[in-house]
Amino acid sequence: MDILIVEDEADIAQLIKLYLEKEGFSCHVCRDGLTALSLFRELQPDLIVLDLMIPGFDGLEVCARIRQQPDPKDPYILMLTARGEEIDRIIGLSTGADDYMVKPFSPRELVARVRALLRRSLRQGGQSSTYRTPHFSLDLEQRSLCRHLEIDSETDSNLPLDLTTLEFDLMATFMSYPGRVWNRSQLIEKLWGADFFGDERVVDTHIARLRKKVEPDPAHPSFIKTVIGVGYRFEDEAEPTP
């Protein structure tokens, strides 16, 4: 898999490159935002390690521009910054970053974060019509969503869930980008497009209705999580093996 490292501090960039290449990844390095956008279009990487403070376009601008482009490859973005204030993290996630690390960081932790992102194999640029997580199966062609019910240790049963058209599209958006944080504006653009006129809070209403159908306890959601000050994300990880 190809990884683009956008970092203006040469020693940090080389350290990241060294650790990732030891894990078998193919890495490319650049030091400014303009070059990052050019290499993104040329290389179509699977993941971008993106520093927030880089010359030219900063990391937020690069992230936002990548998310706005209709490219076939929609890479995961792991954002790095020397600043640890909550507002920086919120802004980074709201522009479309998938994960966030504050400098100084452990290179081994960065590798683990990269591997965790790339294990989310559901994002395939529209090539897949079926998404599976430990608790759900979604079929885009049949427009069906099933919840996996464990009958015993060896047998599972699928429970079809009755969703409205918009609820299904919302769940499909979440499941095709697991872990990504979406703000209301991004969800509105994804689901309604430029024709939407109204209050962004309508998103909250649809999220609440969807939770009633997919969550065991809608008041304490396990899958569709609220990220305070940003928006929502979908999480569905397998239970750790004892």
CATH number of the structural domain spanning residue 56: 3.40.50.2300
Beta bridge partners of 50: 6, 79
pLDDT band at 155 (very low <50, low <70, confident <90, very high): very low
Q: Are 173 and 230 in contact (CB under 8 A)?
A: no
For residues 112 and 8, membership in a common domain is answered with: yes
pLDDT at 37 over 90: yes
Q: Where is mean pLDDT largest: 156-160, 187-191, 205-209?
A: 205-209
Mean pLDDT, rounded, of the chain = 84
> In terms of pLDDT, which residue wins out, 78 or 237?
78
Q: How many domains does the chain have?
A: 2
pLDDT score recorded for residue 93: 72
pLDDT at 67: 82
Are residue 79 and residue 138 in the same domain, yes or no? Answer: no
* Strand partners of residue 29: 5
Do 102 and 149 belong together in one domain? no
The overall pTM is greater than 0.75: no
Task: Identify the CATH number of the domain in which residue 205 sits.
Answer: 1.10.10.10
Whether residue 184 sits in one domain with residue 91:
no
Work out the pLDDT band at 71, boundaries 50, 70, 90. low
Indicate the range of 9-13, 148-152, 163-167, 217-221 predicted with least confidence. 148-152
Question: Which runs of consecutive H residues, i.e. helices, occur in the chain?
Answer: 10-22, 33-43, 59-68, 86-94, 107-118, 165-176, 184-191, 202-214
Confidence of residue 124 (pLDDT cuts 50, 70, 90): very low
Residues 6+ apart with CB under 8 A from 14: 29
42 lies in the same domain as 136: no
For range 61-76, the mean pLDDT:
81
Percent residues over pLDDT 70 in the chain: 84
Q: Which two tokens stand for residue 231?
A: 């928006």
d(CA 190, CA 149): 30
